[in-house]
Amino acid sequence: MVVKLMIKRIVSILLSLLLFISFGFSYTYAVDNTVSNQSDQNISTNVSSDTVADEVYNLPEKYFKDGDIIVPIDDVNKDRLDGEAIAYTSSYGKSTNTNQWGMEITVVNNVVKKVTKPNYVNPNNSAVPDNGVVISIHISNPEFNVLLNRVKEGDKVEVVLDNFNTTTFWKTKYDAFDPKTYEDNPAGYGVPGMRGNNQLIIYDSLYGSRTGTNEYGYEVVINKDGEIVSAGGNNSEIPTGGLVLSGHGDAAKWLKKYALIGSTVAIDKINKEVIIKHMPMSYVDEAQYKIDMVENNLKDAKEQFKNIPYDDIQAIIDSAKGKLDNAKTCLNKGSYEEAENLLKSIDDDVNKAMYMSFESVKVESRAIWIRPKEKSLSEVEKNLDMLENMNINTIYLDVFWGGYTIYPTSNKYTAQNPIYNGFDVLDAYVKEAHKRGMEVYAWTENFLIGTSNLSDGGPIKAKEPNWLMISRKGYNYLVDSSGIKYYFLNPVIPDAREFLIELYKELAIKYDIDGIQFDYMRYPNSYDYSNDFGYDDYTRNLFKQYAGVDPKYLNVSSDMWQLWNYFRMNIINSFAYSVISELRMIKPEIKIAADVWPNYDTAPSDIFQDSKDWTIKNYLDILNPMSYYTSVLLVTDDLKNTLNFASGHSMVVPAIGTSIGTDSVTLLKQIDAIRNNGGVGVGLFEFESLFKNGYEDALKGGVFSTQAVAPDKDPIYAVETVLGGTLSDIDGVYVKLGGMSQSEASTYKNLLSSIISALKSPNAVGNLKATLNEIDDVLQRVNNDKNLNTNVVARITNDLTKCKMILSSIMAGEEFKENHVIDELRVEIPSNYNKIGSVLPVKVKGIFGDNKLDFVYLDTSQYEVVSDNPSVVGVSNGSLIINGTGKANIKITVKGNLNIAHGVDTKLSFTVDTNSADKKVSLLNGVLKAVNISNNSVELSWSDGGVDLNAAGYIVERNGEEIARVNNTSYKDMTCTPGESYTYKIEAFDTSGGILDTSNMISVTTKPDDSKNNYIYLSGTASVYGNIALYRVDEAKSLDVIKNAESDVVINFNSNEKTRLKEIIIPVSVMNELKMAQRNLVINTDDLKITILKDLLNIDNVNGYISIKITNKGTSQKINNLTPISNIYDIEVTKNGQKVSIPMSVALVTNGTT
């Protein structure tokens, strides 16, 4: 049998060689850099589809064969990705763990024992037999539909997982050769390298020195002899006399699968086809290429002064060279099995040497996302042992997914997932991880509560369907391309927000977690906005109360579209602020991390996520930009963009993917790039794909070969460890390899030792500013030292920069604690009650002085409620009970160790009069007052006493007319005339516009003004909701004012530098009237003065509106007199939704000075 098999293999090779020779390839590689015709014979006449598929010479290395159907097997015992066929053997595990998007064929002794067909709901997840194999085929595999209708139990089939000596030919169409104009390749026009979606492009050196492609593809380089000499990457250098094959999408997948290093390539220009030939000897070429690559890599590592085991790596390379010589001899003798074993051993050696050439650092966060499915302590221990062996130090554990918790919960809206059978998997992970020195963050999916293929939203969707987000088309879900529905909680609904906050508070109190890692702190992606989210009645009514329009009738060209986007962003921001403050209030040491969309310019409008704002305000300890790419450059770009605003505020730990098909070496390069560009760690998404796709050897073999200190666990110790490593490298690497002299080494060791001594002092945290200055001094000295090797300078700079980031995050945390104090306490209760016996829940809200969007509700244990007349109003569990008619004075005393600003009254009181005929508790009556009066402004406040729990905001009336709507308890009217008298009143309204409560009326007279200022104010209505503000100019009143104006006309807009978006809506008729009256228009806010000169008011139309939008970029830079306005604000002017250009002067106002 062995002899017959060997004879068959030899015949196969001979036939393939004869066939290849007989093809008479019409194109070979010419020295003049072109592909020239070498014969009159057209390749397509000999290489047809049938010929290429001939099993004599073109059976794949791994395949499944049923009759005349041959399915190439992409890999063995790996995750099944889109379009792939994967073979699973018993060494993989008990089952395939595949999803529902495929079919599976169980084979034992070449007989089909079971066919698992998809129902697209339940996972395939076939059991793997001990003596057989499971062939798992994704629905987008080309042979899927054929096999689905053909293969059945009892079929005789063939499964080959090792067909080493087969010569294979593959061909595919290409789209363009050296495209440079639109005519050359319309589908790629305007795209870097002229490579369009799913296209395969060929470049030779006549095109240029490089392909010029972007990072979203895959390329192979072919030398002048027609051999593939490198694979992977983009924007490749084009070799003289050679080619580059460049693929995107499906074409990239084809190249990855068939264009293997060592293969030879021919081009048929007539039929626009690429033909690839792979022979057993190609494996030798591939092995030689890999040995050369790893040897060059070792040389580069020495030049970069990496701290790696050079001698050990060189020994492995030398051994591989010897094995390669033996493999060549075996092939020449026809000893194919021995040659195959040698080549596989070489591959293992080369991989090991490559992995070892990546350095393992002493300080970094090595995080892994885990969705736990373990049902026993032993299973948890097994997982953590595997991670400990890989030197992982941080676990992001999914504690809330599919609408369920992973732990027993007392929350009435959800429950522990029944898959755990009552086992507290969170408790097990926390305790066992801490035993191993690992940190555990509770990873929560926040607003995403489930999918249609996984619990369908769980108990939350079932119990509270009205809590779900609603899309523009009326759907309560987002559907992806596979038909899976995603359900999101509506962040506007107060009860839904409170549910999540209470859930997280329970987590923090009940479990010894080190932090919380927030995911899905956002809306679903809006894409083209044809079906974006936020169109439930509650949200629409709330926006309408402030903007005066229903958002459902807005579109991307509407004047208020950006306001609508920022309104939704405001909702997410306010939730983020509140939940983080609540957690830090009950557990001050807890750390906060967040997964964020790394496109920070578009995220506020795409998913309404403003993570830049959270970071700059020091709410986050760790920022995790989600950089799920197979490219190193894109990961690096995301990190640099993140550090542009995060430096000095938060540590940055990028998330990279182990489930997207990234090869092991690229993953290591991504980690290396993160280290070299300011990241303090890396997060791997996620646990199952990490091991299924075989990354553990690569990580353990190099980048994670030694333990690392997590920088967030003990930041001071982490910095000491970084500097200790730098000291070690000075003698052990830099001096040893000639990058630094002994005298220089002595100098820098003394400087670094001084910093370490400062960090070891008892008051290290208090002296951080001085320590950071000392680090800056060393950085400056290193970078100015012309005697140091430039690569040594880069390494020391990188170490010191990491130290600065870690220490700066400590300072940011201390600054947050110092400034983040409650400077206003407010009581909230419903103002309406129905009858005797009604229960009115009492809430005490603390509002923070450094961020008025941020508030917390105090726990009932943190305040006491007392009634002086229990027979009228009683108190029970913090709620008021209406017991009879009459009056009762309610006093609330805040107690406990809370972070409340000095001078804030912690004793609150109000009166409940149950004699009211309309059964209402008046909370606003008697609390309105003017707290500041100037010649042209009146500042109002109504924060004393209580406010209605259901109030969506407040209407400010002046002289009986509405002038503003706000959602806080103060307002500054900036449109007053000197020496005039005014009356003011406040009304609380709900989301539907109903009036809940009315304040007392007050009379105010502004101060006189002797400056002869004759400014005239345009009448209008202001709306302020959180950090967005709108001013709508009243057309009729403004036209009358302009006609009588004797000087410039002014809009005074109550907003400040913390307002993210200010929008002023002015009728076109008003602008034209200003032009006719020859009056300048001045727009004043607390932070800007905008002047539009009368001679520049060239507005053609009579109808419609002008919109002026002022967007605060949220920059963290220091602002001074020389800072350009454009660095701080974007100012856009539109007319009826279309951008227009109106020249204006803009000045920054600081502390009243322009």
| Digit-coded pLDDT (tens) for 125-153 | 999 999 999 999 999 898 999 999 999 99
Q: How many helices (H) and strands (E) does the chain have?
A: 26, 60
Alpha carbons 516 and 507: distance in angstroms, whole number: 9
Residue 896, by phi and psi: left (phi above 0), alpha (psi -120 to 50) or beta?
left
Q: Are residues 743 and 702 in the same domain?
A: no
Cβ distance 349 to 375 under 8 Å?
Answer: no
State the CATH number of the domain containing residue 969.
2.60.40.10
pLDDT above 60: residue 794: yes
Q: Average pLDDT, stretch 1097-1124? A: 72
Query: In this structure, is residue 177 part of a structural domain?
Result: no
Alpha carbons 268 and 174: distance in angstroms, whole number: 10
Query: In this structure, is residue 855 part of a structural domain?
Result: yes
Q: Are residues 854 and 951 in the same domain?
A: no
Cα radius of gyration (the chain): 35
% of the chain with per-residue pLDDT over 70: 91
917 — pLDDT class (breaks 50, 70, 90): low
Q: How far is CA 679 from CA 610, 622, 654, 777, 803, in A?
A: 21, 11, 7, 22, 11
Q: What are phi and psi of 45, to 5 degrees?
A: -75, -20
pLDDT above 50: residue 357: yes
Nearest CA among 105, 106, 76 for reference residue 91? 76
Per-residue confidence (pLDDT) for residue 1013, from 0 to 100: 59
State the CATH number of the domain containing residue 794.
1.20.1440
Residue 488 in tokens: 């999101």
DSSP 1038: H
Query: In this structure, is residue 897 part of a structural domain?
Result: yes
Cβ distance 650 to 679 under 8 Å?
Answer: no
Q: Average pLDDT, stretch 43-54? A: 30
Alpha carbons 66 and 229: distance in angstroms, whole number: 35
Q: Name the more confident of 265 and 661.
A: 265
Residue 539, by phi and psi: left (phi above 0), alpha (psi -120 to 50) or beta?
alpha
Per-residue confidence (pLDDT) for residue 1151, from 0 to 100: 56
DSSP 731: I
Is the bond preceding 273 in cis, omega lying within 30 degrees of 0?
no
Per-residue confidence (pLDDT) for residue 950, from 0 to 100: 84
C-alpha dihedral sign at 346, 349, 355, 357: negative
pLDDT above 60: residue 920: yes
Per-residue confidence (pLDDT) for residue 1123, from 0 to 100: 64
Q: Which residues pair with 177 in a beta bridge?
A: 202
Tokens 């095109």 identify what position?
207
Per-residue confidence (pLDDT) for residue 749, from 0 to 100: 97
Q: Are residues 1041 and 1127 in the same domain?
A: yes
- How would you classify the pairing of strands 448-451 and 176-177? unpaired
Query: In this structure, is residue 205 part of a structural domain?
Result: no
Query: In this structure, is residue 706 part of a structural domain?
Result: yes
Alpha carbon of residue 995 to chain centroid:
41
Per-residue confidence (pLDDT) for residue 1016, from 0 to 100: 83
Query: In this structure, is residue 250 part of a structural domain?
Result: no
Q: Are residues 877 and 745 in the same domain?
A: no
Query: pLDDT tens for residues 476-511?
Result: 999 998 899 999 999 999 999 999 999 999 999 999
Query: In this structure, is residue 150 part of a structural domain?
Result: no
Per-residue confidence (pLDDT) for residue 1023, from 0 to 100: 92
List the alpha helices (DSSP H) in 359-457: 377-389, 425-435
Per-residue confidence (pLDDT) for residue 38, from 0 to 100: 29
Q: Are residues 900 and 935 in the same domain?
A: no
Q: How far is CA 433 from CA 377, 554, 793, 858, in A?
A: 12, 51, 38, 32
For the chain, the maximum distance between any two Cα atoms, rounded to a whole number of angstroms, is 114
- How would you classify the pairing of strands 200-204 and 176-177? parallel
Q: Are residues 340 and 315 in the same domain?
A: yes
Q: Are residues 720 and 706 in the same domain?
A: no
897 — pLDDT class (breaks 50, 70, 90): confident
Q: Are residues 801 and 827 in the same domain?
A: no
Q: Are residues 352 and 375 in the same domain?
A: no
C-alpha dihedral sign at 1051, 1052, 1054, 1059: positive
C-alpha dihedral sign at 498, 500, 501, 503: positive
Cβ distance 912 to 832 under 8 Å?
Answer: no
Q: How many structural domains comprise the chain? A: 6
Q: Which of 817, 835, 859 is the last residue of a domain?
A: 817
% of the chain with per-residue pLDDT over 90: 68
Alpha carbons 1064 and 1062: distance in angstroms, whole number: 7
958 — pLDDT class (breaks 50, 70, 90): very high
Q: Are residues 885 and 803 in the same domain?
A: no
Cβ distance 386 to 733 under 8 Å?
Answer: no
pLDDT above 50: residue 29: no
Strand order in the sheet with 85-88: 75-76, 85-88, 132-138, 102-108, 111-116
pLDDT above 60: residue 889: yes
State the CATH number of the domain containing residue 311.
1.20.1270
Residue 554 exposed, middle or buried by CB count within 10 Å (0-12, 13-18, 19+): buried
Tokens 């004393």 identify what position?
944
Q: Which of 711, 740, 760 is the last residue of a domain?
A: 711
Q: Are residues 810 and 828 in the same domain?
A: no
Cβ distance 671 to 700 under 8 Å?
Answer: no
* 3-class DSSP state of 382: helix
pLDDT above 90: residue 1057: no
Mean pLDDT of the chain: 89
Q: How far is CA 152 from CA 107, 128, 780, in A?
A: 11, 18, 72
Residue 443 exposed, middle or buried by CB count within 10 Å (0-12, 13-18, 19+): buried
Residue 1051 in tokens: 């809009």
Q: Are residues 1061 and 1023 in the same domain?
A: yes
Q: Which of 817, 850, 867 is the last residue of a domain?
A: 817
Residue 423 in tokens: 């086992």
pLDDT above 90: residue 381: yes
pLDDT above 80: residue 1100: no
State the CATH number of the domain containing residue 429.
3.20.20.80
State the CATH number of the domain containing residue 891.
2.60.40
Find the range with the poorest average confidence among 169-173, 772-776, 966-970, 1094-1098. 1094-1098
Alpha carbons 782 and 780: distance in angstroms, whole number: 6
HEC profile for 665-723? Answer: HHHHHHHHHHHHCCCCEEEEECHHHHHHCCCHHHHHHCCCCCCCECCCCCHHHHHHHHH
pLDDT above 50: residue 14: no
- What is the b/e burial string over 1048-1075, where b = at least 16 CB atoms within 10 angstroms of the residue's CB? bbbbbbbbbeebbbbbbbbbbbbbbbbb
Cβ distance 115 to 105 under 8 Å?
Answer: yes
Relative orientation angle of helices 280-303 and 310-333, to the nearest 10 degrees = 170
Tokens 């499964």 identify what position?
159
Where in the sequence is the domain holding 986, given as residue range(s)? Answer: 922-995
Residue type, 195: R
Query: In this structure, is residue 384 part of a structural domain?
Result: yes
